[in-house]
Structure 1
Amino acid sequence: MKHVTSAFCLTVGLIAAISFSMPVHAKGDLAGYDRFDVTAAHRSMPLAASIWYPAGTRIYSAPVNKGPIWKTTMAYIGAAIAPGKHPLVLLSHGSGGNMDAIGWLSSELALRGAMVVAVNHPGTTSGDSSPRRTSYIGQRSADITATLDQLLANPEFAPYIDTDQIAVAGFSLGGSTVLNLAGLRFDRDLYRQYCDRFGDTVQDCAFLRRGGVKFDQFPDDLSANSKDPRIQKFIVIEPGMTDAVDPDSIKDVDGDFLFIRLGREHGWRASDVEATGSNLLAKLDHPEYAVFAPANHLTFLGECVPGVAEMLAQMDDDPICSDPAGTDRGLIHAQIIDEISGFLSLKPKSD
C-alpha cells in the first residue's frame, strides 16, 4: 500500500505542477475546443469531428493542429460551453485539408459567439487526398448532414445551438460542398467540357488528371441532390467546380450567400465566379461578394512558421506558404473573419 500511496501522491504533485506551469489566459481570450466521432451510414467508419465554441469556464489550454509548418491556435480543451443559445457554423475543409487546419477561423468565430463544427472528409483529407475521390461531392455533403443530425441529437451540445441560425462555410472543394448543400447540383458533362477546355491550365483538372481520372467517367455522386433545408446561410470561399453547376438546379436554391475570393490578378480560374469565370454570381439572387487582395487561393491556409516558405521552395514542394508580393496573410485572415462575422451578425470580438 505504501508504494500505491506514494505513486498517488507523486501523480497528484505532477498534475498540480503541470497545472501551475500552464500559461494563464484571461477568460474570454480563448475558445473552447473538443472532439467527437460522427456515425455516418454512407461511410465505413466514424468521421472525426471537432467543435469550437464560446468557453464558459477556464481549463487547461493547449495548441490545436501543432506541427512544423503552421502556426498553432490555442484553445481551452473541453471547457464548459458558455450559457445561452449560439449560432452554429458547419465547416468543410478543402482538398488535402483537415478540420483543425482552419483553426484560425474556427477559433475567432467562436470568440465572437458561434459554435463551429468541422469534420474530416475521408478521401480528401490531409494525407489521404485522392484525385479519384475528389468528385464525390455528394458524400462530402452527406458528411455535413450526418454531423448536423448528430449534433442536434447530442444532449451535450444541442441545448446550446440556436437552430434558427445554422450556417455552413467551406473553402475550395469545401466551397463546392457548401453549394451542394444549398441545393445546387453539378453536371458531369459540364465538368468534362470545362476540363477538356482548360486542361492542365486549371489546378483542379490538372490534379484529377494526375490521378488518372477520366473526365468522361465522373461518378453519379458528383450530381447528387444534397440540399439541407435546416441551413439558412452559405459561406462559399474560393469554390471549385462552379463551371459545372447544373442551371436547372439554381431555381431550387434559397438562403443567403456570401462568396469570398482571394486575389484578382493572382486568383485561380477554378474559383472565379465573376463574368471572367463561371459567372455564378450573376445567376444567384443577390449574393454578397468580397474580394481580398493581394492574395491567391492558398492564402486562405494557415499562417506558416517563419522560414517554412523558403524551405518548401528549396525542396520544390507545394507553395502552400507562398503568397503574392505584398500579401499579409495574417491581415487577409483578419479581414475574412470580419466579413464572415458581419454576414452572420456575430458580436464584435471582445478586447
Structure 2
Amino acid sequence: MMRRRFLVRLLAAFALCSTVAHASMGLTELPGLKGDGPVTVFYASDSPAAPVARGPFNPTVAWNGRAIAGNRRLIVLSHGSGGAPWVHTDLAQALVDAGFVLALPEHRGDNYKDTSAPGPDSWKQRPAEVSRAIDAVARDARFAPLLDLNKVGVVGQSAGGHTALSLAGGRWSSARFQRHCEAHIAEDFNACVGTFTLLNGGLFDGMKKSAAIGVLRQRFDDETLVEHHDPRIAAAVAGVPAAADFDPASLARPPIPLGLVTAGRDIWLTPRWHSDAVLRACTPCVRIAHLPNGGHSILLSPLPPAAVLGEVERQLLGDPPGFSRNQLPEVDRQIASFFRLHLLP
C-alpha cells in the first residue's frame, strides 16, 4: 500500500511537471501595498503567449493570461540596484517550468525608474517589501487558490542578494558598511560608491577615495544591527550578494537553507569581502553554482543592452572576455532544483 501511494504521488508529480513545462509563461502586475511599487508576477498559464514590449526587452509571455496550477509554491525575487524584472526573464522561465510562481517587487528608490536611494538606505526597507509582495500575491484572486504560502522562497542578485541574506537571518549595520569601505576603499571601491564613478589609475583616484569616505562617514554611522524575520520564508538563494556589512556570526548557521551563486571575476562586489565571506562564515551554506570566469551580471539574463547603460554600468556589468552565457541556463536550473529540494513536501 505504501509503495502504491508513493507511485501515485510520483506519477502525479510527473504529470504536473509535464503540464507546466508545456504551458505558456504568464505575466501580470499587481499593485503594491502601503505605497509600494508594482509587483511583477510570472506564472504558468494556458493562454497563448506573444512578445510584449517592456522597454528594450520583448519577453514572450501571456500578458494577464489565465493562471494554472503549479507546485503551489511562491518565490520572490529581489532585484539588484537600479534593477528591473525583465533582466530576470530567463530565470523566471526556469522557475515557472519547475512549477513555481515568481513575484518581483519594485524596490523603492533603487529601481530602473528611480535610483535616488541605493545602498544601505534601500537595504533597510527591502526585506519588508518582500514580505508585502507575498501579501499582495496572497490577496489576488487569481493566485490565492493556487498557492500555499507557508513555505516561500526568496532569491536575490547583488543588492537583492543582500535582501536574501537578511531574510535568511543575517544582521548588518550601516556602521559596518562604513568601516568596511574605510578599510578597503581601493580594493572594493564600487561596492562603496555604486555606479557614480570608477578608479582608473589616474591622478584623481586619491580624491575620489577621500570624497567617498567623507560622504560615507556623514551618512552611515548607525551601529544598530538591522534584521527582518518573515516566518513564511523557508529557503533563500543569494546571487553575487552585497555582504561586507553583515555580522558573520549571524550567518554562521542560518535558520533556513541558504544557497549562493558566485562569480570569480566580479569587479562590482569583490568576492573576497562579499560572497566568499558568507561562505567562510556559513558552515551549512551550499554553493549552488560558481562561474570562475563570470562577472557581476551572471544572474542577469537577458543582459541589458549596452545602449541603456551608463559608462560605469557597462564596465561593471559587462561579461569578462571569454565568458560564455551558454552556462547560464544550467545555473537557472540549479536554482530551481535548490528550491524544489527545500520547498516541496
Common fold, TM-score beyond 0.5? yes
Q: Distance in 1 between matches of 2:310 and 2:258?
A: 40
* Equivalent pair of 1:89/1:114 in contact (CA under 8 Å): yes
Contact 2:89 2:302 in 1 (8 A): no
* Residue 89 of structure 1 pairs with residue 88 of structure 2: no
Q: For 1:36 and 1:221, how far apart are their aligned partners in 2?
A: 36
Q: Aligned residue for 1:270?
A: 269
- List per-residue Cα deviations over 1:99-133 (Å, max 9, x = no partner): 23312211221122110000111111013223566
Return the letter of the residue paired with 2:54. N
User: Which residue number corresponds to residue 102 of structure 1?
Assistant: 88
Structure 1 equivalent of residue 200 of structure 2: none
- Partner SS, residue 123 of structure 1: coil
For 2:85, what is the secondary structure of its paired residue?
Answer: coil
- 2:286 maps to 288
Match of 1:318 among 310, 314, 319: 314
How far residue 180 of structure 1 moved from its aligned partner, in angstroms, is: 1.0
Runs of 4+ in 1 over 4 A off after TM superposition: 131-134, 208-212, 219-222, 311-317
**Equivalent of 1:120, from 103, 106, 114?**
106
Q: For residues 275 and 49 of structure 2, what CA distance do their matches in structure 1 show?
A: 47
Distance 1:201-1:156 versus aligned 2 partners, 3 A rule: same
Q: 1:179-258, aligned counterparts within 5 Å?
A: 179-202=165-188, 203-207=190-194, 213-215=215-217, 217-218=219-220, 223-240=225-242, 242-250=243-251, 253-258=254-259
Aligned residue in 1 for 2:277? 279
1:47 aligns with 2:37: yes
Change (3 A) 1:212 1:325: same
Residue by residue over 1:309-334, the C-alpha shift from the partner in whole angstroms, topping out at 9 and shown as x without a partner, is: 5x6899786236631122122x2320
Identity %: 21
Which of these residues, 40, 54, 57, is aligned with residue 65 of structure 1? 54
Q: Which of 149, 154, 157 pairs up with 1:168?
A: 154
Closer/same/farther in 2, CA of residues 343 and 316 from structure 1, 3 Å limit: closer
Task: Tell me by how many angstroms 1:301 deviates.
Answer: 2.3
Aligned pair in 2 of structure 1 residues 38, 269: CA closer, same or farther (>3 Å)? closer
Q: TM-score, normalised by structure 1?
A: 0.76
Query: Would the aligned equivalents of 2:127 and 2:167 in 1 still touch at CA under 8 Å?
Result: yes
CA deviation digits over 1:1-59, x for unaligned, max 9?
Answer: xxxxxxxxxxxxxxxxxxxxxxxxx992531111111112xxxx33211111111x223
Give yes or no for the alignment of 1:341 onto 2:328.
no
Q: Deviations over 1:166-212 (max 9, x none)?
A: 10000000000111112211123321111001215421213286698
Is residue 327 of structure 2 the alignment partner of residue 332 of structure 1?
A: yes
How much does 1:91 deviate? 0.5
CA distance in 1, matches of 2:217, 2:241: 19
* Aligned-partner Cα distance in 1 for 2:179–2:230: 28
Q: CA separation in 2, counterparts of 1:124 and 1:36?
A: 19
**Equivalents in 1 of 2:169, 2:55: separation in Å?**
36
Distance in 2 between residues matched to 1:156 and 1:333, nearest whole Å: 31
Q: Displacement, 1:238? A: 0.4
Distance 1:224 1:88, change over 3 A: same
Normalized against structure 2, the TM-score is what?
A: 0.77
Task: After TM superposition, give the deviation of residue 339 of structure 1 in Å.
Answer: 1.1
Check whether the contact 2:36–2:108 (CA below 8 A) recurs between aligned residues.
Answer: no
AA partner of residue 322 (structure 2): G
Counterpart code for 1:48: P
Q: Partner of 2:10 in structure 1?
A: none
Distance 1:63 1:250 in 2: 40
Distance 1:211 1:105, change over 3 A: farther
Q: Distance in 1 between matches of 2:43 and 2:223?
A: 33
* Residues 88 and 161, structure 1, Cα contact 8 Å, conserved in 2: yes
Q: For the Cα contact (< 8 Å) 1:189–1:216, is it kept in 2? A: no
Counterpart position of 1:14: none
> 1: CA distance between counterparts of 2:73 and 2:87?
21
Instruction: Report the CA distance shift for 1:28/1:267 in structure 2 as closer, same or farther (over 3 A).
Output: same
Larger radius of gyration: 1
The residue type paired with residue 234 of structure 1 is A
Unaligned runs of 5+ in 2: 1-19, 197-210
